[in-house]
Every structure is written in structure tokens, then in C-alpha cells.
Amino acid sequence: MSVAVLASQHVSSAHAGVADAEWDFALQRMGGHFLQSTLWQRVQTALGHDVIWARDEQWMWAGAIRAGHFPRYAYLPHGPTAISLAAMTRALEEAVNAARARSLDFVRTEPAGAAAVDALRASGAYPSRPIQPRWTWILDLTPEEAMLRRGLSAGHRGAINAAARRGLTFRASADPEDIEVFLGLQARTAAAGRFRGQAQSYHRAVARTLMPEGAATLYIAEAAGDPVAAAMCFDFSGTRYYAHAVSDPDSGRKLQAAAPLVWRMILDASESGARRFDFWGISPADQAAPGAHPHPWDGFSQFKRSFGGAAVERAGTWDLGVRALRHGLYRAAVRLRR
């Protein structure tokens, strides 16, 4: 029996607004992702989205409602989090209950844990357009710096060693106003016809919500007093997440600022007691094989792999239908656009 059928037999017990003070402690105990934290719920609120959440002792999820004219759905980034197959199935059921109570068309979910895919398939979920990357690259920060350095590629090691000679300096900022440095570099990159990144309103909301709480830090590389590269990281439950990065299309590339900037982020995270550095997203592992068809992410994926570490596969992005007709129309429209 699918989650959609089961959901009709239950009343939603989901809550609206940012979750209570106990949420993050429970999330950390279950090994949940930063994007399920109350900090990220506050970012969603700052962006104008309504937040909903639910939990019991074995599962939990939080999501933001995407409430345009069509479709209208709840998005659970890296959620639900659950400790067993039965708990994950119940969490997905409750997410559908909550969506139905709010007349949403579907639930978009990215559940965490070994039981996630089995629960999704049993629940009648459909693989969807990826939101958060299915594959990420994780660096273990528990070894000493000398051991971490051995994991670097020759190119990264050379760029790190040459940074001072090239006049590069690095600073870490907790000032939300410094996001304007990042946005200035992003504008230069976009003007050069390269990666445009997220909207300025998104980055400002992230900075103003997370940086004063110590949950986000902006790293800036400068040469002769001018910014040439910048990167934003998030910190949660022993993991530093490499979230957003940008480099001047001319000077940043010429000075090879990106690798030493990330290395500074890694060393600072290790010194603070973090246990993992999550590079956030890479191309699929099979795409990295020699002779495989090139993936659009191959370039920056190779950049991330060159710090050492290992690939981690997650469940990916899936949709659970709630209003069958409207969800079917949406899926048909997506297929036509491809």
C-alpha cells in the first residue's frame, strides 16, 4: 500500500513555523543534515517560505512550502531523517498527511539513511529532478595536518605553497555585510558568461540569518587589497559544509586562489574540532571513470576530489504525489520540457 493511500487514513500532526528548541539536539542524535536544522528553517522563513515540521522519537523532517500558482508542494531538503525502514515509512506518510492538509500537490523529499530508497519505493515515490546533489565528497578531518596534506593533488599542493609568493592573503568573516564582496565577485563571473549562482536576495538572507549565529563563515582571498575569490561555509554537528564559492574570472584564476582558500577553510575546521568537510556536490562516481561521457560538473568535481576524501552517495530527490491529477499534470509538463 502506498504512502498516498495510507495518508488518507490519518490526520496530520505537523506543525507550522520554525521548530522548537529541542529540534537540533534530536537532529544531531540521528545524524541529520544541516538543511534540516532550525537554522536552515529560519533561512527559509527569511526567504518568505512557510515552514512545516513533524517528528517523533524515531524520525523527523522539516520543509518549506513552495506555494506558487502551480505546482504547490513541500520540499524537504535532505529529509526526512529516520533510524529504521519502518520509521522512514512513517515519516514519509506524515509528510504526505501534512501536504494534503494544506492542499499541496506533492512532497519533494531527499531522505537520509540506508533505508531511504527502500522506503521511497515502497511508498510509490518517483525519482525527480535533482535539487541537492545525490553524490557528495567527504574529507575526514580527524588526521593531523601533515596527513591531510598528503591527500592533496600535486596541483593543489603547489597552489597552496605558492599562495604567499603570489601575494594572496586570506581572511574569515562573520560580518553579514561582507556578503557584498561575494556578490561583487559573482557579478563579475556572470558578466564573463560563466556560472551565475543563486540570486543576491538568497545570499543576503543566508548571510544575515546564519553568520550572526556562527553557523556560516565567509572566507575571502585578496591580492593587493582586492578580493579575488570567496567561499561560504556552514557548520553544524561536527561537519563543515562547503556551500558556495566564486572566483574572479581573471585574477582569481591567474593567481590560483581557489585551492589555498579552501585549504584555509579545511584547516580552520579541523582546528575547531570538526570531524568532516563536506564538499556538497560532485558528478556521479561512474561519470568520473576514464572514457565516460563528460558531466557538466566534472571540472569542479575534480577540484574537490583533489583535496583527498571519498565519494558518498545519497538517496537523491524524489516526489510523493498528494493530489494525483495535479501531480500527474506537473510530471507530464516536466517531461515535455526535457
Residue by residue, DSSP assigns 203-232 as: HHHHHHHHGGGTSEEEEEEEETTEEEEEEE
Helices 258-272 and 154-162, interaxial angle, to 10°?
90
Q: Strand, coil or helix: what is 323?
A: coil
Short-list 282, 285, 189, CA closest to 230 = 189
Alpha helices in 20-141 (DSSP H): 23-29, 38-46, 85-101, 116-122
Residues 276 and 320 in one domain: no
197 and 49 both lie in a single domain:
no
Q: Beta partners for 172? A: 219
Residue 295: is its pLDDT beyond 50? yes
Same domain, 127 and 139: no
Pairing state between β 72-76 and 106-109? parallel
Q: What is the pLDDT of residue 113?
A: 79
Based on the fold, state whether residues 179 and 158 are members of the same structural domain: yes
What pLDDT band is residue 1 in, cutting at 50, 70 and 90?
A: very low
Q: Looking at the DSSP assignment, which residues form a beta bridge with residue 48?
A: none
110, 131 in Cβ contact below 8 A?
Answer: yes
Query: What is the predicted pLDDT for the residue at 7?
Result: 42
pLDDT in the model for residue 302: 95
Sequence-ordered strand ranges (E) for 177-332? 216-223, 226-236, 239-247, 276-278, 310-313, 318-321
Are 120 and 207 found together in one domain? no
Q: Is the pLDDT of residue 8 over 60?
A: no
Asked whether 107 and 64 are in contact (CB, 8 A), the reply is no
One domain for residues 146 and 295: yes
Domain count of the fold of the chain: 2
Average pLDDT over residues 258-279: 98
User: For residue 5, what pLDDT is reported?
Assistant: 41
Lowest mean pLDDT among 5-9, 205-209, 299-303: 5-9
Query: What pLDDT is stored for residue 17 in this prediction?
Result: 96
Contact (Cβ atoms closer than 8 angstroms) between residue 74 and residue 40: no
- Domain housing 165: 135-313
The total number of residues shown for the chain amounts to 338
Q: Are residues 76 and 88 in the same domain?
A: yes
Residue 58 sits in the same domain as residue 175: no
Segment 170-177 shows an average pLDDT of 98
Q: What Cα–Cα distance (Å) separates residue 183 from each residue in 42, 195, 196, 257? A: 21, 12, 10, 17
In a shared domain, residues 53 and 123: yes
- Cell triple for residue 244? 558556495
Q: What is d(CA 180, CA 50) in angstroms, rounded to the nearest whole number?
A: 27
d(CA 122, CA 3): 8
Q: Tell me the pLDDT tens digit for each residue of 23-62.
A: 999 999 999 999 999 999 999 999 999 999 999 999 999 9
d(CA 82, CA 58): 6
The more confidently predicted of residues 181 and 326 is 181
**Amino acid letter, 104:** L
Q: Is the pLDDT of residue 211 over 60?
A: yes
Are 77 and 211 found together in one domain? Answer: no
pLDDT digit string, tens, across residues 82-103: 999 999 999 999 999 999 999 9
Transcribe 20-32 into DSSP letters. -TTHHHHHHHTT-
**Is pLDDT at 166 greater than 70 in this prediction?**
yes
Average pLDDT of the segment spanning 291-298: 75
Other C-beta atoms closer than 10 Å to the C-beta of 220 total: 20
Beta-carbon contacts of residue 229 (< 8 Å; ≥ 6 apart):
185, 220, 221, 245, 246, 247, 248, 252, 257, 258, 261
Average pLDDT, the chain: 92
Residues 22 and 150 in one domain: no
Q: What is the CATH number of the domain that holds 331?
A: 3.40.630.30
72 and 197 inside one domain: no
